[in-house]
């Protein structure tokens, strides 16, 4: 892809990001950080390419290490986000709230 | 160039994955849609990983290194190594995610940021060592000697930027982690001439990246890597503990820009879209945090806040204040129509959120309306208090943001401040000389009575200023450990 095409995607995505993130409710800012963390580990794509390529053993091992790190982040990030989101509950109406 | 994806289906798959990530963030606009959003995020990631594995199947040439390029076989060993690497990461990640305490979330997020940063650095170095595999270089065969790869100048800039931002993210996040984890003191560490050193280092990195476009020799590349690691340490060391919400958000943003830079190098839509999303997300969160402290981003990044002010706060003038007991507090709250609870970082430290919810339940049984008021910078990361309250089973529609609840304090009988300090200081509204002047605060002093839990009268908040609130007629100080005090109040409520 040529540079201008990529740059266009990037600039437009920044605008999308701007509007989407402002619409996130402040109560969910911690899960937002956790999930952005998980998705930024899409860098694993680069690590996989490096690890799969032949020709440079150094590059391959760095790639593999990168895959491990990114994978920790992907699984850890999504799992911890899911765990947090599961805790947010709406008020139970009458029945449950009355007795303790 | 055999690894460059030209198949339009591949590009489409990465695009779908990018769209999934956008929808994942979009889902967070409300707790009801958030879990679906998170699942979309996972799907997006799965698409990206599977697409990459399918298009970059590790191959090896059986015949000879210079043989027929069509005589390639799948290199099963490497494929197994790749899957094993993913599996190792999965086990570590899932274990940590399951075991981590909610109060430790800021440290965990900082630690995760450092991993993204380091992964970006590793990918960058790998791309530098094997540029042909990434499709960012031309092989030049000289008259004499081995053929060598010449990396495209544009790719050099993208690669160097990715590595530099990744390295800053890594080392900065390590420091943030150590500070949040308490391994390193929360007090700012001020090195002599730090602004000069930092600016010089940043200038050197920029200059080296510019030079790298002309000369791709290893020493330039490694100098960029080394300097970027050190600037990350230097930038975060002088920043104090309570400014960490800004720092963590900022590093979040950096990890996104690092991914985006690598996405440019690889021409990968999923990485670019993600990088832009994460980059803007972190930037917006930093902005929100700075606004909530009425400080400019630069003043936070320059660091040192709280180090100087804390020193010259000196002996406080002896002013009269009222001390109350758990029984007094219980009595006041039981008789109240509305109680607003204001939690802060101290609640997290004391792990008082569960017993606090128990107290709220008792009050509700007695017919009291209970609400929670959350200041944007309460805690050590954006939304920290909300997560802790959610963990303690507090329904999220009882929890209110600063702007939504501030007008209600005048109709509130009891404001119950637990573990917060600076965010309730009325001096921010009146005292022009105060370091926190202009910071939006919760108007707790408008409530009929303020109950303020504090360990002792001696200490000051992070900003190092005395809180006007303690000496008001309608304030009653409850001096004890937050958790113990709330437990006693629960007992007194019967």
| B52 domain-assigned | no
The residues in B 63-102 lying below 8 A from A, measured between CB atoms, are: 75, 78-79, 81-82, 85-90, 92-94, 96-98, 100, 102
Range of the domain at B175: 104-305
Neighbours of A45 (CB within 10 A): 29
At residue B279, φ and ψ (nearest 5 deg) are -60, -45
- pLDDT at A97 exceeding the cut of 80: no
Among A84, A91, A3, which residue's Cα sits nearest to residue A37? A84
| B11 domain-assigned | no
| A78 domain-assigned | yes
Tell me, yes or no, whether B348 and B278 share the same domain.
no
**CA–CA separation, B435 vs A53, rounded Å?**
56
Range of the domain at A30: 26-89
**DSSP code at position B443:** -
Burial of A51 from C-beta contacts in 10 A (0-12 / 13-18 / 19+): buried
Does residue A4 belong to the interface with chain B, where contact is any CB pair within 8 Å?
no
Tell me, yes or no, whether B141 and B243 share the same domain.
yes
Judging contacts by C-beta atoms under 8 Å, the chain B residues touching residue A19 are none
Tell me, yes or no, whether B252 and B182 share the same domain.
yes
Does residue A65 belong to the interface with chain B, where contact is any CB pair within 8 Å?
yes
| B67 domain-assigned | no
How far does the CA of residue B275 sit from the closest CA of chain A (Å)?
A: 6
Task: Assign B312 a pLDDT band (cuts: 50, 70, 90).
Answer: very low
Judging contacts by C-beta atoms under 8 Å, the chain A residues touching residue B52 are 44-45, 48-49
Residues B13-38: tens digit of each pLDDT:
999 999 999 999 999 999 999 999 99
- Which among A18, A29, A39 has the least Cβ separation from residue B45? A39
Judging contacts by C-beta atoms under 8 Å, the chain B residues touching residue A53 are 3, 56, 58, 130, 133-134
Mean pLDDT over residues B365-376, rounded? Answer: 94
Cβ B373 vs Cβ B400: under 8 Å:
yes
| A56 domain-assigned | yes
Query: Is the CB of A25 less than 8 angstroms away from the CB of B31?
Result: yes
Neighbours of A10 (CB within 10 A): 20
| A100 domain-assigned | no
- Terminal Cα distance for chain B, rounded: 75
B477 three-class SS: strand
Long-range Cβ contacts of B197-202 (<8 Å, 24+ apart): B197/B234, B198/B231, B198/B234, B198/B235, B201/B227, B201/B230, B201/B231, B201/B234, B202/B231
Residues B118-165: tens digit of each pLDDT:
999 999 999 999 898 888 888 888 888 777 888 888 889 999 999 999
- Is residue B404 annotated as part of the catalytic site, yes or no? no
Among B157, B231, B28, B232, which residue's Cα sits nearest to residue A39? B28
| A57 domain-assigned | yes
Q: Report pLDDT for B4.
A: 47
How far does the CA of residue B157 sit from the closest CA of chain A (Å)?
A: 12
Judging contacts by C-beta atoms under 8 Å, the chain A residues touching residue B387 are 30-31, 84, 87
**CA–CA separation, B166 vs B149, rounded Å?**
24
More confident residue, B363 or B303: B363
Task: Assign B43 a pLDDT band (cuts: 50, 70, 90).
Answer: very high
Q: Report pLDDT for B315.
A: 47
Query: Is the CB of A70 less than 8 angstroms away from the CB of B127?
Result: no
Count of structural domains, chain A? 1
- Terminal Cα distance for chain A, rounded: 62
**CA–CA separation, B453 vs B346, rounded Å?**
9
CA dihedral B262, B267, B270, B273 (to 10 degrees): 80
Of A2-6, A7-11, B422-426, highest mean pLDDT: A7-11
**CA–CA separation, B394 vs B40, rounded Å?**
27
Among A2, A57, A80, which residue's Cα sits nearest to residue B4? A2
Tell me, yes or no, whether B230 and B374 share the same domain.
no
Mean pLDDT over residues A20-48, rounded? Answer: 94
Tell me, yes or no, whether B287 and B141 share the same domain.
yes
**pTM score of the predicted model:** 0.89
Distances from the Cα of B197 to the Cα of B191, B209, B230, angstroms: 9, 18, 11
Does residue A45 belong to the interface with chain B, where contact is any CB pair within 8 Å?
yes
| B283 domain-assigned | yes
Tell me, yes or no, whether B338 and B236 share the same domain.
no
| B343 domain-assigned | yes
| B25 domain-assigned | no
Does residue B284 belong to the interface with chain A, where contact is any CB pair within 8 Å?
yes
Q: Report pLDDT for B122.
A: 96
Which residue is catalytic, options B71, B312, B422, B466? B422
Count of structural domains, chain B? 2
- Cα R_g (chain A), whole angstroms: 20
Query: Is the CB of A85 less than 8 angstroms away from the CB of B115?
Result: no
Q: Report pLDDT for B69.
A: 57
B399 three-class SS: strand
CATH (domain of B420): 3.40.50.1220
Lowest pLDDT segment from B84-98, B302-316, B368-382:
B302-316
- pLDDT at B486 exceeding the cut of 90: yes
The residues in B 16-55 lying below 8 A from A, measured between CB atoms, are: 17-18, 21-22, 24-26, 28-32, 34-35, 37-38, 41-42, 44-45, 48-49, 52-53
Query: Is the CB of A16 less than 8 angstroms away from the CB of B41?
Result: no
Among B45, B47, B36, which residue's Cα sits nearest to residue B10? B47
Q: Report pLDDT for B3.
A: 44
| A97 domain-assigned | no
| B193 domain-assigned | yes
How far does the CA of residue B212 sit from the closest CA of chain A (Å)?
A: 19
**CA–CA separation, A74 vs A85, rounded Å?**
16
Phi-psi region of B340 (alpha: psi -120 to 50; beta: other; left: phi over 0): beta
| A66 domain-assigned | yes
**CA–CA separation, B489 vs B494, rounded Å?**
9
**CA–CA separation, B40 vs B146, rounded Å?**
48
Residues B417-452: tens digit of each pLDDT:
998 888 898 888 888 888 788 889 999 999 999 999
Query: Is the CB of A10 less than 8 angstroms away from the CB of B119?
Result: no
Q: Report pLDDT for B56.
A: 85
Residue ending a domain, among B273, B305, B337, is B305
Tell me, yes or no, whether B272 and B176 share the same domain.
yes
Those residues whose C-beta lies under 8 Å from the C-beta of residue B152, and which sit 6 or more positions away, are B136, B137, B138
What's the whole-number average pLDDT of chain A?
A: 88
**DSSP code at position B28:** G
What's the whole-number average pLDDT of chain B?
A: 88
Residue ending a domain, among B270, B305, B340, is B305
| B93 domain-assigned | no
Percent share of chain A, pLDDT over 90: 73
**CA–CA separation, B157 vs B224, rounded Å?**
11
Tell me, yes or no, whether B363 and B469 share the same domain.
yes
Tell me, yes or no, whether B276 and B338 share the same domain.
no
Tell me, yes or no, whether B476 and B447 share the same domain.
yes
- pLDDT at A50 exceeding the cut of 50: yes
- pLDDT at B321 exceeding the cut of 80: yes
Tell me, yes or no, whether B288 and B375 share the same domain.
no
Q: Report pLDDT for B456.
A: 81
Residues B225-242: tens digit of each pLDDT:
999 999 999 999 888 877
Judging contacts by C-beta atoms under 8 Å, the chain A residues touching residue B30 are 25
- Cα R_g (chain B), whole angstroms: 27
Pairs of residues, one from chain A and one from chain B, whose beta carbons lie less than 8 Å apart: 396
Lowest pLDDT segment from B52-66, B234-248, B364-378, B395-409:
B52-66
Q: Report pLDDT for B220.
A: 94
Tell me, yes or no, whether B332 and B185 share the same domain.
no
Percent share of chain B, pLDDT over 70: 92
Judging contacts by C-beta atoms under 8 Å, the chain B residues touching residue A67 are 82, 85-86, 89
Name the residue with tokens 């832009």: B276
Q: Report pLDDT for B307.
A: 55
* Closest residue in chain A to residue B133, using alpha carbons only: A53
- Which among B41, B288, B376 has the least Cβ separation from residue A38? B41
| A79 domain-assigned | yes
């Amino acid at each position: 892809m040529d540079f201008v095409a990529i740059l266009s995607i990037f600039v437009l995505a920044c605008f999308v990001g701007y509007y989407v993130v402002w619409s996130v409710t402040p109560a969910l800012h911690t899960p937002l950080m956790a999930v952005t963390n998980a998705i930024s580990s899409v860098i694993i794509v680069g690590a996989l390419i490096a690890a799969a390529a032949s020709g440079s053993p150094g590059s391959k091992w760095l790639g593999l290490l990168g895959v491990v790190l990114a994978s920790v982040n992907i699984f850890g990030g999504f799992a911890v986000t899911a765990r947090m989101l599961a805790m947010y509950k709406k008020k139970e109406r009458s029945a449950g709230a009355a007795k303790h | 160039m055999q690894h460059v994806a030209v198949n339009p289906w591949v590009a489409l798959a990465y695009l779908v994955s990018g769209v999934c990530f956008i929808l994942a963030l979009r889902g967070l606009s409300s707790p009801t849609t958030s879990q679906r959003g998170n699942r979309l995020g996972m799907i997006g990631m799965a698409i990206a990983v599977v697409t990459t594995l399918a298009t970059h199947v590790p191959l090896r040439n059986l015949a000879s290194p210079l043989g027929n390029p069509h005589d390639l076989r799948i290199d099963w060993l490497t494929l197994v190594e790749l899957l094993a690497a993913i599996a190792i990461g999965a086990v570590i990640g899932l274990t940590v995610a399951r075991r981590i305490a909610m109060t430790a979330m800021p440290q965990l997020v900082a630690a995760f940021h450092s991993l993204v940063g380091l992964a970006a650095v590793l990918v960058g170095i790998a791309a530098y060592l094997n540029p042909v595999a990434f499709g960012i270089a031309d092989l030049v065969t000289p008259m004499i000697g081995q053929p060598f790869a010449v990396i495209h100048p544009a790719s050099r800039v993208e690669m160097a930027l990715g590595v530099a931002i990744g390295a800053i993210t890594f080392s900065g996040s390590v420091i943030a982690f150590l500070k949040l984890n308490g391994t390193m003191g929360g007090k700012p560490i001020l090195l002599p001439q730090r602004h000069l050193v930092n600016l010089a280092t940043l200038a050197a990195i920029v200059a080296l990246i510019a030079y790298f476009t002309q000369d791709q020799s290893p020493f330039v590349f490694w100098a960029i890597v080394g300097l970027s690691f050190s600037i990350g340490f230097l930038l975060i060391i002088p920043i104090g503990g309570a400014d960490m919400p800004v720092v963590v958000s900022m590093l979040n943003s950096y990890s996104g820009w690092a991914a985006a830079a690598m996405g440019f190098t690889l021409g990968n839509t999923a990485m670019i879209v993600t990088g832009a999303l994460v980059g803007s997300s972190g930037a917006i969160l930093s902005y929100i945090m700075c606004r909530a402290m009425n400080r400019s981003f630069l003043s936070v990044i320059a660091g040192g806040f709280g180090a100087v002010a804390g020193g010259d706060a000196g002996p406080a003038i002896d002013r009269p204040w009222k001390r109350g007991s758990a029984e007094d507090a219980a009595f006041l709250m039981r008789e109240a129509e509305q109680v607003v609870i204001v939690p802060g970082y101290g609640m997290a430290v004391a792990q008082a959120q569960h017993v606090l919810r128990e107290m709220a339940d008792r009050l509700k049984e007695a017919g009291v309306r209970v609400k929670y008021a959350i200041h944007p910078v309460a805690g050590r990361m954006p939304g920290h208090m909300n997560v802790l309250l959610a963990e303690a089973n507090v329904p999220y529609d009882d929890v209110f943001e600063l702007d939504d609840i501030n007008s209600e304090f005048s109709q509130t009988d009891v404001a119950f401040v637990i573990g917060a300090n600076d965010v309730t200081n009325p001096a921010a509204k009146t005292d022009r000389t105060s370091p926190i002047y202009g910071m939006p605060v919760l108007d707790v002093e408008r409530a009929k009575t303020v109950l303020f839990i504090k360990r002792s009268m001696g200490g000051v908040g992070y900003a190092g200023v005395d809180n006007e609130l303690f000496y008001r007629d309608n304030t009653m100080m409850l001096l004890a450990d937050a958790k113990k005090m709330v437990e006693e109040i629960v007992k007194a409520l019967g």
